[in-house]
Structure 1
Amino acid sequence: MARLREVLNRRQPDLTVVTDFVHKQRNLSAIVRNCDAVGIQRMHAVIGTEDYKTFRGTAMGSHHWVDVDTHQNPAAVLDALKASGYQLVAAHFDEQATDYRLVDYTLPTGILLGAERRGVSAIALERVDRCITIPMVGMVESYNVSVAAGIILAEAQRQREAAGMYAQCRLEASSWERLFFEWGHPRVRDFCRERGLSYPPLDAEGEIDNPSGWYADVREGRAPMEDKNND
């Protein structure tokens, strides 16, 4: 429970990654791990209609610590981030692309990554504020997409660490409490989700307060139902 508190207190709610038709599960899984490592709580995966159900059935179940939202086109998610005040930077080479280290990642930031062969889609490029590149001195033209994500996110973490952004909890209280319960009590989480129940209260140690009494209320139909309007 102490470890869960420590991790949640360092989550960065205004830093995210958007993958643009990155289909290979090993790359997606590696990017999710990169997100967790630097404190990203929510990332976005844009995938095609034909891959949507497959991705939800395989990749989603393996990631317990990062929320992965899936989308069938990049326009909606990028527009939503933009409307929320995020700067959007794409790992993509063009004539105006700048060194990835020149971006101020202490601002609310969405980092856009395309598939290795296809790159970032035209519809996504229309919505980004700038393109960035990672300088290379070898013969190969680009890094693997998950490696590129790790390099860029490490710089974002460095900047945010220097700015003190990991020194205090930045998640909203409702989100913190929800995640703390879901991470600490996954079986009860699934039980409540299946029945549309609110999560039971926790005591000071992070354990369910009076679990036998709560379950008796569930059996008798007295347990409160989930409020769909809450986070």
Structure 2
Amino acid sequence: MTPERHQRILALLDKRQPDLTVCMEGVHKTHNLAAVVRTADAIGISDVHAVWKSDKMRVSGGSAVGSQNWVDVHGHKNTKDAIAELKRQNMQVLVTNLSDSAVDYREVDYTKPTAIILGQEKFGASPEALELADQDIVIPMVGMVQSLNVSVANAVVLYEAQRQRQLAGLYDKPRLSEERRQRVLFEGGHPIFAEACKRKGLPYPQIDEEGQIVASEDWWQKMQMTKDAWQNIDD
């Protein structure tokens, strides 16, 4: 890893907001999935959630342009499980929805741990999401349309969240765990070795202050061998 890349990854990690996230509920168009993840990365979000219609659905390519490599996407089989996980993390759960109880998205305190539910492109959030969410939010409009594209709505709300968090100083000091930082530094700075570790079942090594791998001689030897070869030695 070059010093320049190391510093760029450190700068990214220093701004990450582990208690701000979005959950895509049934969002299925590839360009929307990718755009949501790309905005999340730009805002400093480390994790996003998704209720997938199919096990085959994934965020890849398109307008994500590599953002999916820096944001962890957590899939859920249903809305109930997704929201339960978000609330387990003590997040207030907001849902974009035009209703009598909805408040202007700018009136919400996003300095609190927050998750934003983004409904499906055509039908919006499900009745279950509306029931389980803590608050409906709305983006005011004065034209003929009543809703924005889901990825655009996501960006509008997240940049308000970023604005509030910057004013509150939440971007001023690192907030990710050291374990998470080490993982991202290794996967982002040494992707070939990271892929080899996954393939061979090797643990990730530590990354030092210069961005270099710190590992035992045994680890380096196993890195140069096939998985079957070094497992036979261990046995």
RMSD between superposed Cα atoms in Å? 2.3
1:121-136 map, 5 Å: 121-136=126-141
Residue 141 of structure 1 is aligned with which of 146, 169, 173? 146
What's the offset of the Cα at 1:24?
0.2
TM (normalized to structure 1)?
A: 0.88
Partner of 2:3: none
Identity level (%) = 43
TM (normalized to structure 2)?
A: 0.87
CA deviations on 1:208-231 (whole Å, 9 max, x unpaired) are 247987422443739xx9xxxxxx
Partner of 1:228: none
CA distance 1:134–1:56, change in 2 (3 Å): closer
CA deviations on 1:3-61 (whole Å, 9 max, x unpaired) are 0000001100000000110100100100000100110000011121xx22143787899
Moved more, 132-141 or 103-112: 132-141
Partner of 2:168: 163
Residue 47 of structure 1 is aligned with which of 39, 43, 52? 52
Query: What CA distance in whole angstroms lies between the structure 2 residues aligned with 1:54 and 1:77?
Result: 16
Unpaired runs of at least 5, structure 2: 1-5
What's the offset of the Cα at 1:177?
1.1
SS in 1 for 2:230: coil
SS in 2 for 1:18: strand
Query: What CA distance in whole angstroms lies between the structure 2 residues aligned with 1:14 and 1:100?
Result: 18
Residue 193 of structure 1 is aligned with which of 160, 174, 198? 198
Partner of 1:90: 95
Residue 211 of structure 2 is aligned with which of 191, 194, 206? 206
Moved more, 58-67 or 36-45: 58-67
SS in 2 for 1:53: coil
Residue 70 of structure 2 is aligned with which of 65, 69, 87? 65
What's the offset of the Cα at 1:150?
0.2
Partner of 1:152: 157
1:176-191 map, 5 Å: 176-191=181-196
Residue 82 of structure 2 is aligned with which of 66, 77, 80? 77
SS in 2 for 1:9: helix
What's the offset of the Cα at 1:195?
1.2
CA distance 1:3–1:61, change in 2 (3 Å): closer
CA distance 1:196–1:75, change in 2 (3 Å): same
CA distance 1:83–1:201, change in 2 (3 Å): closer
CA deviations on 1:113-134 (whole Å, 9 max, x unpaired) are 1022111001111110010000
What's the offset of the Cα at 1:143?
0.6
Moved more, 212-221 or 29-38: 212-221
Following TM superposition, the consecutive aligned residue runs of length 4 or more in structure 1 with deviations greater than 3 angstroms are 56-62, 209-214, 217-222
Query: What CA distance in whole angstroms lies between the structure 2 residues aligned with 1:56 and 1:40?
Result: 15
1:52 is matched by which residue type in structure 2? D
CA deviations on 1:127-160 (whole Å, 9 max, x unpaired) are 1001000011112121100000000000000000
SS in 1 for 2:123: coil
